[in-house]
Amino acid sequence: MIWFVTSAGSTRRAFLLSQLLNAPFWGLYGLLAVILYKDLHASPFELALFIALKPSVSLVSLYWSAPVHQRPDRLRSNLIWGGLLARLPFFFIPLVQTSWFMIAAAALYLMLNRAIVPAWMEIFRRNMPSAGRSLAMAHGSTISHLGGLLVPILMAPWLDLQPGAWRWLLPVLALISSFGLLFQLRLPVSGVEAPTAPPQRVGLIQPWRDAWGLLRRRPDFSQYQLGFFLGGGGLMLLQPALPLVFVDWLALSYTELALAIAACKGIGFALTSSLWGRWLPTSRYFKPVALVTLLASLFPLMLLGAHLHTAWVYIAYLGYGVMQAGSELYWHLTGPIFSESEDSTPYSSVNVAAVGLRGAILPLLGSLIVTTYGCTTALLLGTLLCLMATAALLRRPYKQPAPI
């Protein structure tokens, strides 16, 4: 019992400190699309590729997380190596200043950042009581977003006055973020002394076969994935329109963008993250996720209101922050919730792969829609997909996890 309490406390501490140290880097990372368009003069094709790569690289994440299935002895090393390799390219940005290198570095970071999620969530399941997981995740996400809120606001005036400052800020903040790995080195993992599966090679097709088998075996999990796929797809569809809305429609400065994207979204996230975390243990899983997708459907409608007044941009991102607080919490904890006493990594891996599948299709489709029909059409179609997601999640489920 003493070991369990110590294990839970160490896990919570390592996770929160990692989130805290990564927050400044993540804040600047959120401005990369605008940096590409404004400072590196990226073409529409490069912007579309950047937006598409960010989620679609999650398809590769499946192979990074597959070796830890039923292998608790590999969980910690999966975290450490993934975190180290994710940040490495950013140290070379002062030497290589091209849009293509920036796109590649950003894609690798996001791929590995998502690839380690199954390992983190399995460590949560093994080391922490179920009642504490949602609050730990909510507090960690709040810390991350509060840091991501403050840093862009402080840096935005500097970026406006010194357009090339981000070339040095990115590697410095990546270095600070890397210190979080030191706390993960001593992270305990329950059951690490007795691996439950022998070492095996991960073939090209096997992770996808395992994912498909899991979806067929668990229709409730499939229904959840459909709803989350449509909701996330709606937000991805409209992403290619956002830089054009901010720069061409509204002519927003870095400071104004930071106030909207970082401050308003961060405030909405921070104010409601703990509320989502407290609601999750007392509710059936499909109802709060349906509320998340319903809130997502309002975001593009509010952006359309920016034609009337730019205040709607800030209102839209305030609401987006509320939605994202629930979305991140439920997306991360899907594996431990649906797996119950099973190994959670296959469930979390399907979550990550689903992000990649919709990211490989919908941002490019959104770019085509923006080019052909304009930003307004892309925003309205994004709303439609989110409403379809809400309907899918509110349909009577085959089965759903009991309150945790």
125: left (phi over 0), alpha (psi -120 to 50) or beta: alpha
Q: Class for domain 2-188+206-394, per CATH?
A: mainly alpha
Evaluate if pTM is beyond 0.95. Answer: no
Q: What is the pLDDT of residues 314-340, one digit of tens each?
A: 899 999 999 998 888 888 888 888 877
pLDDT reported for residue 279? 76
- Render pLDDT for 273-294 as a digit per residue (tens, 0 to 9): 888 877 766 556 688 889 999 9
- Ramachandran angles phi, psi of 205, nearest 5°: -100, -25
pLDDT category, 383, cuts 50, 70, 90? Answer: very high
C-alpha 345: how far from its chain's center? 17
Rounded (5°) CA angle 79-83-89: 155
Q: Band of the pLDDT at 11, cuts 50, 70, 90?
A: confident
Following DSSP, what letter does each residue of 100-164 receive, concatenated? HHHHHHHHHHHHHHHHTHHHHHHHHHHHS-HHHHHHHHHHHHHHHHHHHHHHHHHHHHHHHHSTT
| Per-residue pLDDT at 402 exceeds 60 | no
What digits encode the pLDDT tens for the residues 22-57?
A: 988 988 887 787 788 877 888 777 877 787 777 677
> What is the rounded CA–CA span in Å between residue 386 and residue 236?
11
Greater pLDDT, 287 or 404: 287
User: What gap in Å lies between CA 125 and CA 82, rounded to an integer?
Assistant: 20
The yes-or-no verdict on residue 234 having pLDDT over 50 is yes
Beta strand ranges found along 268-379 (DSSP E): none
Q: Which position has the higher pLDDT, 223 or 202?
A: 223
Q: Summarize the confidence of residues 396-400 as an average pLDDT.
A: 60
- Can you tell me the distance from the alpha carbon of 114 to that of 56, in angstroms, rounded to the nearest whole number? 11
- Is residue 1 scored above 50 in pLDDT? no
Tens digits of per-residue pLDDT, 344-355? 888 888 888 888
Domain parsing of the chain, residue ranges: 2-188+206-394
Count CA atoms within 13 Å of residue 18 on its CB side.
Answer: 22
Neighbouring C-beta atoms of residue 6, cutoff 10 Å: 12
Helix (H/G/I), strand (E/B), else coil: 199: coil
| CA 189 – CA 197 distance, rounded (Å) | 16
- Per-residue model confidence as pLDDT tens digits over 296-312: 999 999 988 877 787 88
d(CA 336, CA 316): 31
